[in-house]
Each structure stands twice: as structure tokens, then as C-alpha cells.
Amino acid sequence: MLVGVVEVKLLSEYKLFLRFEDGRSGEVDISQIIPFKGIFAKLADKDFFSRVKVNPDVGTICWENGADISPCTLYKMLAH
């Protein structure tokens, strides 16, 4: 079952607070899962990274350049 992200808040550097539509929430360190290459290269710029938003159409976090991360990947990170 796919559970979408409904809230994102920048905590520090590459750490985000996420809340999912089923109520589960917690902190994830995005630097642990993305390579900062290709479409993710711009996310190495902390100012650019800080402009993260939830895209309700796809149920996950995204950035202005089109980069996004699977909500399944993010959800699994909260389980650890």
C-alpha cells in the first residue's frame, strides 16, 4: 500500500521531518539515500535543498528542478 507524504519541514542541513497520510512521522536524513549526482546534484546546495515541498499530486517531496524521492523509500527510512 502506497502512503503519501503530507507534510515536510526542514530540520537541519539534509534532515527533514516528514508526516505521512497514515499519521506516521519522523526524521529522515536525505544525504543517506541520494548521491548528489544527476538530477540530485542541485540538492547539494543547501539553499536549494531547503526549498523542498510536498507535491500532493504524487504524494512525495520534490524540488523545483523536478527531483523527487519515492514515498516508499522515505516511509521505509522511518521504520529504521
Looking at the 3D structure of the chain, how many domains does it have? 1
Q: Which grid coordinates belong to 69?
A: 524521492
CATH number, position 21:
3.30.2020.10
Q: Read off the pTM.
A: 0.92
pLDDT tier at 68 (50, 70, 90 boundaries)?
very high
Domain range holding 15?
5-68
Q: Within a domain: residue 49? A: yes
d(CA 75, CA 43): 20
Model pLDDT for residues 2-49, shown as the tens digit of each residue: 799 999 999 999 999 999 999 999 999 999 999 999 999 999 999 999
DSSP output for the chain: ----EEEEEEEETTEEEEEETTS-EEEEEGGGT--S-GGGGGGGSHHHHTT-EEETTTTEEE-TTS-B--HHHHHHHHT-
